[in-house]
């Protein structure tokens, strides 16, 4: 290892002591430059920054601390390590030197060659670590700045995209409403009326999902709007809706118990059902069975509702089960022809957990999957929500 040392000292004897101490070092090759005045030392250091400056405190025209300040100004981008030498062991001078940026302070005539070399190496290491930390800090600042800029661009793009997506949805909704109004009564059969209602409801749900998507991408927490609701009515409605729009699967709804009332957020649970049922449809073969079970059950501490969605589809490989609720994760056996982003189940788990519930999955590859949601029924409704039906519950975790 080669190290450049600049010694600023007007004592020829002290210069000789330092030169001999460094020449006898078997481990490091010290390149020593020696000057007698602070002005010359400053000029040399500015022209070619050394690794270490070894300076006498008592110099003609400028003392060691003043030279150190001048060096820090001239070599601001890469300040060398600095050690101050003095002929007296003055504690006040030592403190002043260290506060001014020196890495060490040695008293002439008291240190050995080994102590001098150790001090030089320690000063170098201290400066090296300080520079590394500063570089990491600057890298972190640059990365944070780039991330903020990227997030700002992303938010702007999402805002534009959600605005553009809502335009076609409004057209779909208006046309469905117009058809209901313009069609003669004899043409508006119950089946057609149901389908028009499904179109309007789906467009409204898509608008809500777009709004939620925009809120989620901006990093805001999802809040619950709890109200007293019957989960069985929601499950019945979703299953009937799917039965009317899909003739490729057989739906089976099973109810166990009678009381399915609870204090929940209807829109959030509708999203949970939409995700679980759409996945069951997507991953099940034509003619496959989809079984939805809703059961009321009680534990010693609380009443719960258990919701199970069981399909007869691809199933999930064992190695993918621990990650099935991770954002952007898709099972390894899903073919490329089946579209998906891997965010649906992550959203489902978050919404269930916001309700104080749990979700789990059991599956075997090639034999379908069963998702089980447990929801506590008796979590109190926020007084604002109970009074207006619109206030958010503030205990969202």
Same domain membership, residue 213 and residue 232: no
- Structure confidence at residue 220 as a pLDDT band (50, 70, 90): low
Same domain membership, residue 99 and residue 32: yes
Q: Which of 217, 247, 277 is the last residue of a domain?
A: 217
Task: Give the span between the Cα atoms of 345 and 106, in whole angstroms.
Answer: 66
Same domain membership, residue 242 and residue 202: no
Which of 226, 221, 219 has the alpha carbon at shortest distance from 397?
221
Same domain membership, residue 273 and residue 254: yes
Which of 325, 303, 327 has the alpha carbon at shortest distance from 369?
325
Same domain membership, residue 178 and residue 265: no
Q: Are 389 and 227 in contact (CB under 8 A)?
A: yes
Same domain membership, residue 182 and residue 45: no
DSSP H or E run through 35? strand 29-35
- The residue written with tokens 């400028």 in the block is 62
DSSP H or E run through 68? helix 64-74
Residue 397 has pLDDT above 70, yes or no: no
Domain total of the chain: 3
Provide the CB-side half-sphere exposure for 365 (13 A, CA): 9
Range of the structural domain that residue 372 is part of: 227-388
Report the chain's mean pLDDT, rounded to a whole number. 84
Task: Give the span between the Cα atoms of 235 and 247, in whole angstroms.
Answer: 19
Same domain membership, residue 98 and residue 160: no
pTM of the model: 0.51
Q: Which tens digits make up the pLDDT trace of 35-87?
A: 999 899 889 988 888 999 998 888 888 888 888 888 888 887 788 999 988 87
């Amino acid at each position: 290892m080669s190290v450049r040392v600049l010694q600023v000292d007007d004592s020829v004897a002290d210069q000789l002591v330092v030169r001999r101490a460094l020449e006898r070092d078997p481990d490091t090759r010290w390149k020593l430059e020696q000057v007698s005045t602070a002005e010359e030392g400053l000029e040399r250091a500015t022209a070619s920054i050394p690794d270490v400056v070894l300076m006498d405190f008592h110099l003609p025209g400028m003392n060691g601390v003043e030279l150190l300040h001048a060096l820090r100004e001239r070599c601001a981008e890469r300040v060398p390590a600095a050690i101050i030498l003095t002929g007296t062991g003055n504690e006040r001078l030592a403190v002043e030197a260290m506060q001014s940026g020196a890495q060490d302070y040695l008293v002439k005539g008291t240190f050995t060659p080994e102590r001098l070399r150790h001090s030089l190496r320690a000063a170098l290491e201290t400066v090296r670590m300080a520079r590394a930390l500063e570089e990491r800090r600057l890298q972190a600042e640059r990365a944070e700045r780039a991330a903020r800029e990227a997030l700002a661009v992303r938010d702007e793009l999402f805002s534009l995209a959600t605005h553009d997506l809502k335009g076609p949805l409004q057209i779909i909704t208006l046309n469905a409403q117009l058809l209901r109004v313009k069609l003669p009564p004899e043409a508006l059969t119950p089946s057609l009326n149901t389908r028009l209602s499904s179109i309007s409801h789906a467009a409204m749900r898509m608008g809500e999902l777009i709004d939620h998507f925009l809120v989620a991408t901006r990093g805001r927490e999802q809040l619950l709007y709890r109200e007293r609701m019957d989960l069985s009515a929601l499950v019945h409605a979703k299953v009937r809706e799917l039965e009317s729009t899909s003739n490729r699967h057989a739906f089976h709804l099973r109810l166990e118990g009678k009381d399915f009332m609870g204090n929940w957020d209807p829109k959030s649970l509708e999203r949970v059902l939409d995700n679980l049922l759409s996945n069951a449809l997507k991953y099940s073969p034509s003619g496959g069975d989809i079984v939805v079970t809703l059961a009321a059950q009680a534990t010693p501490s609380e009443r719960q509702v258990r919701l199970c969605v069981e399909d007869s589809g691809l199933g999930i490989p064992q190695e993918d089960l621990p990650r099935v609720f991770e954002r952007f994760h898709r099972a390894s056996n899903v073919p490329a022809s089946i579209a998906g982003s891997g965010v649906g189940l992550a959203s489902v788990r978050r919404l269930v957990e916001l309700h104080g519930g749990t979700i789990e999955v059991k599956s075997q590859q090639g034999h379908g999957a069963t998702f089980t949601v447990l929801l506590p029924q008796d979590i109190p409704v926020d007084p604002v929500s109970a009074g207006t039906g619109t206030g958010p519950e503030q205990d969202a975790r």
